[in-house]
Amino acid sequence: MIRLLLVDDHAVVREGYRRLLERRPDLCIEAEASTAGEALTAFRAVEPDVVVLDLGLPDMGGVELVRRLVQRDARARILVFSMHRDPLFASQALRAGALGYVTKSCAPDVLIDAVYQVAARRRVLSPDIAPELALALLNESDNPLDALSPREFEVLRLLLDGRTPDEIGQTLHISPKTAQNTHYQIKAKLGTRTDIDLVRLALKWGMGGGGMGGGAGDTPGGVEGETG
């Protein structure tokens, strides 16, 4: 029996793939979670064989959640089930420790097969993203965002969403100072002098957002003391 933890903030979506997966007699939904916090608690409580998780969670990005689950248990078997088809999200999830990445546009059988593959500790990608990801990995040096760590990737994602250092700190459970320092590190690593340059670079290489437009003083993302 393969015991699963489903993590998705949409109850209707969870119900849909719960019914799909439970058609298999050897798959059992042991627990469900709608937030990263609930997922971490459930993971510790039920010790599932496979975690199936979405990247779009309200309290913490899925990439950061993958990283924390693997940090908690290096043997964690994680399958990302996401709407994002961009190779950037897949490569970050795999880099954080996920064994598989399947998009929500794939056929149901692809998800089911991926669960079995991840349970057997084999890497798996849905066919609608595999060629693009392979090409992206071959040309990894071409995309500067590939240089970001999973933590930096999540901070950048939240910055693009217009979050302040306080909000980023609360979401990722880090101090506002750490969030602010990571912001500076991202800019230095990507070679961007201003936040406008950072937004342009992120959009160019496949990260959505653009919500970093600042308030008073045009301070992007609410980062105090940002002069460039």
CA neighbours within 13 Å on the CB side: how many for 119? 17
Q: What tens digit of pLDDT does each residue of 195-212 get?
A: 888 988 888 877 765 444
Flag whether 118 is in a domain. Answer: yes
Q: In this structure, are strands 124-125 and 100-103 parallel, antiparallel, or unpaired?
A: parallel
Whether residues 81 and 111 fall in one domain: yes
Residues 103 and 125 in one domain: yes
- Condensed to tens digits (0 to 9), the pLDDT of residues 16-66 reads 999 999 999 999 999 999 999 999 999 999 999 999 999 988 888 899 999
Global pTM value: 0.72
Do 148 and 218 reside in the same domain of the chain? yes
- Asked if 183 and 153 sit in the same domain, the reply is yes
Mean pLDDT of 158-169: 90
* DSSP letter (8 states) at residue 142: G
User: Is 195 found in the same domain as 116?
Assistant: no
Contacts of 128 (CB under 8 A, 6+ apart): 85, 103, 105, 106
Q: How many domains does the chain have?
A: 2
Give residue 102's domain range. Answer: 2-138
Q: What is the pLDDT at residue 98? A: 96
Question: Does one domain contain both 216 and 179?
Answer: yes
Q: What percent of the chain has pLDDT over 70?
A: 87
CATH (domain of 218): 1.10.10.10
